[in-house]
Amino acid sequence: MTTVKELENQLKVSKVSIYLMLKKDEIKGHVFKGENNLTLIDDIGVELLKAHYLRERGETLKDIADEEINHSKAESKVGSKDDEEIKNPEIIEFLQRQLEVKDEQINNLLSIVLNQQKLQATQLLTDSQQNAVNSIQPEEPQQKGFFKRIFGKK
């Protein structure tokens, strides 16, 4: 469970902005009241908020992961990089889910590009066939202009 204050520091947004987001239907089920009327958000709610603010800012997942790793380094200056990775399994899980989503998006884009290329190839083929048909048809003889008919110049 994460408090609004922790989210404010982590996401670098105001408390007001976070509270406004907590009113949305998709996040309401992930908000709880703790001791001293403290607002707590579960892990799924935190992930939804992170995703929202990522889209809003246009930041990349790498930026957020780097920030969280740097934040965890500042909290515990003792330990190796392997220890930090073990301490942050939620970051790893979050990034793995995001990678799966990105892989799916890449596959969708690849299929769109392949379909577009097939469409362009068929259009080029039909254009070349039309040009071949036009070249087979005999050209109509050009009529002589008015003055050429009168003066008989060839």
pLDDT, tens digit, for every residue of 43-87? 888 888 888 877 777 665 566 666 667 766 666 555 555 555 555
pLDDT, tens digit, for every residue of 5-43? 888 888 888 889 888 888 887 788 888 888 888 888 888
**Token pair for 154:** 């060839």
- Distance from C-alpha of 75 to C-alpha of 87, rounded to nearest angstrom: 11
**Torsion angle (degrees, nearest 10) of CA 36, 29, 42, 33:** 0
The answer to whether 3 and 42 have CB atoms below 8 angstroms apart is: no
Name the helix (H) or strand (E) containing 99.
helix 89-136
pTM, to two decimals: 0.39
Structure confidence at residue 60 (pLDDT): 59
Q: Which residue do the tokens 């709610």 mark?
A: 45
Measured in degrees and rounded to the nearest 5, phi and psi for residue 48 equal -65, -40
Burial of residue 45, with CB atoms counted within 10 A of its CB: 0-12 exposed, 13-18 middle, 19 or more buried: buried
pLDDT, tens digit, for every residue of 94-139? 888 888 888 888 888 888 988 998 898 888 888 888 877 777 766 6
CATH topology of domain 1-59: Multidrug-efflux Transporter Regulator; Chain: A; Domain 2 (1.10.1660)
What are the residue ranges spanned by the domains of the chain?
1-59, 65-125
Measured in degrees and rounded to the nearest 5, phi and psi for residue 33 equal -100, 130
